[in-house]
């Protein structure tokens, strides 16, 4: 398995694909990350066409077990970020 693409590599690839400079590509990537973060933090969802959907899911209060001690305790309700991969991306990876 290969190493994940770094932000620098992603910015370079975006700049090449957009036909612009790295500064513009960095600004675009940072803006997308900011919009997705803000929307999901507010409980919404964002669909990234061809990639998938990022959403926030509320988890109720539940009993959990500490694997080190075996003790069970109540974990308070929290939120979980969920990414659902688009069918087109799955198909391109598997096909």
The residues spanned by each domain of the chain are: 1-42, 46-95
Residue 34: in which H helix or E strand, if any?
helix 22-41
Confidence label for 56 from pLDDT (cuts 50, 70 and 90): very high
Contacts of 71 (CB under 8 A, 6+ apart): 65
The pTM score is: 0.76
Residue 75 has pLDDT above 90, yes or no: yes
Residue 2 is predicted with a pLDDT of 83
For residue 39, report the phi and psi dihedrals to the nearest 5 degrees: -65, -45
Assigned CATH topology for domain 46-95: HU Protein; Chain A (4.10.520)
Matching residue, tokens 């009993």 = 63
Residue 29 is predicted with a pLDDT of 94
Matching residue, tokens 């992603």 = 10
User: Both tokens of residue 23?
Assistant: 């500064």
The predicted model gives 48-68 an average pLDDT of: 94
């Amino acid at each position: 398995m290969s190493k994940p693409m770094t932000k620098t590599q992603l910015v370079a690839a975006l700049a090449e694909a957009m036909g612009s400079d790295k500064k513009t590509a960095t600004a675009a990537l940072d803006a997308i990350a900011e919009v997705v973060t803000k929307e999901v933090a507010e409980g919404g969802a964002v669909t990234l066409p061809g990639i998938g959907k990022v959403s926030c899911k509320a988890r109720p209060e539940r009993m959990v077990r500490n694997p080190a001690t075996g003790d069970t305790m109540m974990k308070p309700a929290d939120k979980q970020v969920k990414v659902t991969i688009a069918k087109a991306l799955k198909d391109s990876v598997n096909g």
